[in-house]
Copies of this chain bind each other. A is one copy, B any other.
Amino acid sequence: MKNTFGNSISVTIFGESHGAYIGCVIDGLPAGLDIDEDFIRHRLDRRRPYGSISTARAEQDDFRIVSGVFDGKTCGTPLTVLIPNSDTRSRDYEYGKARPGHADYTAFVRYGGFEDYRGGGHFSGRITAALTAAGAVAMQTLLKKGVRIATHISECAGISDRPINDLQNDMDKLDSSSFAVLDDEAAQKMKDRILSAKKDGDSVGGILETVMTGMPAGVGDPWFDTVEGMLSHAVFSVPAVKGIEFGDGFAMAKMRASRANDPFRIENGKIITTKNSNGGINGGITNGMPIIMRTVIKPTPTVFIAQDTIDFKTRQNTVISAKGRHDPCIVHRAAVVLDSVCALTLADLLASRFGADYLR
């Protein structure tokens, strides 16, 4: 349903990049959950621009919860978060020239020329602040049930991070990082390449790897509302995502089943698989192992290099070069957004399976 996602716990997002507010409404949360505003602030901070490798737009994300919380706890009714837009410079945008890789032209066709084009309007990455706030609420409920989510930059501008190999410590490190890379040397190389692309007026992309631990086995459905289907439905809303894979993903194309299957074992009374090529999901349903997901983030389309394009108002061929502020890389900022949409999806899957009060 367009701007609403989720069956049992749903989120509705709204807002334009240069409008008064962006925000979200989360419905279906159980009553009685402690809401920690500092945690929401921490998550929003992690999404905010980061030093010289990000845009100069400096939003304070001074959010306010205006419904659904009473005496610091959810009261069971829709929880609404408002985030004001303050640092907007609409003059940086000219209407008509389609920025390649952006949604200017498709928005024009979709909305018949009435779209709010300023700063990308409703298509702006800015809207992911609302998703991040919503996700921060969902993460709080999940943490109480032992479900944890973290994302690292497994590749950026051609540089790879080391894999996650120590779940507990690696997730701790990622939680507190604004540039979520496990190997510090790789992180530095990535930043160098981002700055190099920036100098060229260009931008870079990468791959994010998300790990979700603590999900009980038996959640999800075999058709349509598979865990993979629900996560991917939500994840493709994150701007710039063009691909997603679970477990060994595309690498499974070259495997035989004897290599791709994950043997089951009982260890210390617990059912596990001895490897996790299937990313914690069999037949669309969680098997109790960590859910492993990788998404590709394309390079930010805004570049200062001249590109061929059209003016869709005049229907003429033309050329465009970006002006104003922009991100030479959004991979690091997208990490926290991916966590967020995953948190919303897992919370919904758990509530659909066990009832919302399970999350209390």
Contact = CB atoms under 8 A, between A and B. Distances in A.
Given A3-B27, A245-B243, A298-B252, A222 B101 contact: no
A215 to B, nearest CB: 12
A186 interface: no
A56 interface: no
Nearest to A272: B310
Contacts of A248: 242
Contacts of A23: 66-67, 80
Contact of A217 (B106, B122, B360): B106
B302 A202 contact: no
A300 B237 CA distance: 31
Contact of A14 (B13, B67, B113, B286): B67
Interface stretch (A43-51, A138-146, A167-175, A312-320): A312-320
Most buried by B among A4, A113, A204: A4
Contacts of A127: 223
A163 interface: no
Given A27-B4, A229-B234, A287-B106, A122 B308 contact: no
A206 to B, nearest CB: 5
Contacts of A243: 243-246, 249-250, 252
Given A3-B223, A66-B21, A264 B116 contact: no
Given A27-B12, A66-B15, A256 B197 contact: yes
Chain A interface size range: 35 or more
B25 A122 contact: no
Interface string A296-324: 11111111010111101001110000000
A334 interface: no
A21 to B, nearest CB: 4
Given A258-B305, A301-B257, A12 B78 contact: yes
User: In the assembly, how many copies of this chain are there?
Assistant: 4
Interface in A46-90: 64, 66-68, 70, 73-80, 82
A242 B236 contact: no
Interface string A263-281: 1111001010110001101
B253 A247 contact: no
Given A14-B77, A25-B12, A285 B242 contact: no
Contacts of A214: none
B111 A76 contact: yes
Contacts of A233: 224, 229-230, 232-233
Nearest to A128: B223
A145 B143 CA distance: 32
A210 interface: no
A245 B246 CA distance: 12
Most buried by B among A3, A13, A226: A3
Given A105-B282, A109-B217, 7 more contacts: A16-B67, A100-B264, A103-B285, A202-B258, A224-B237, A232-B244, A257-B302
17 contacts: A7-B7, A12-B25, A13-B223, A14-B27, A66-B82, A76-B114, A77-B115, A103-B282, A103-B283, A103-B284, A123-B222, A232-B236, A232-B244, A243-B244, A244-B245, A258-B307, A261-B307
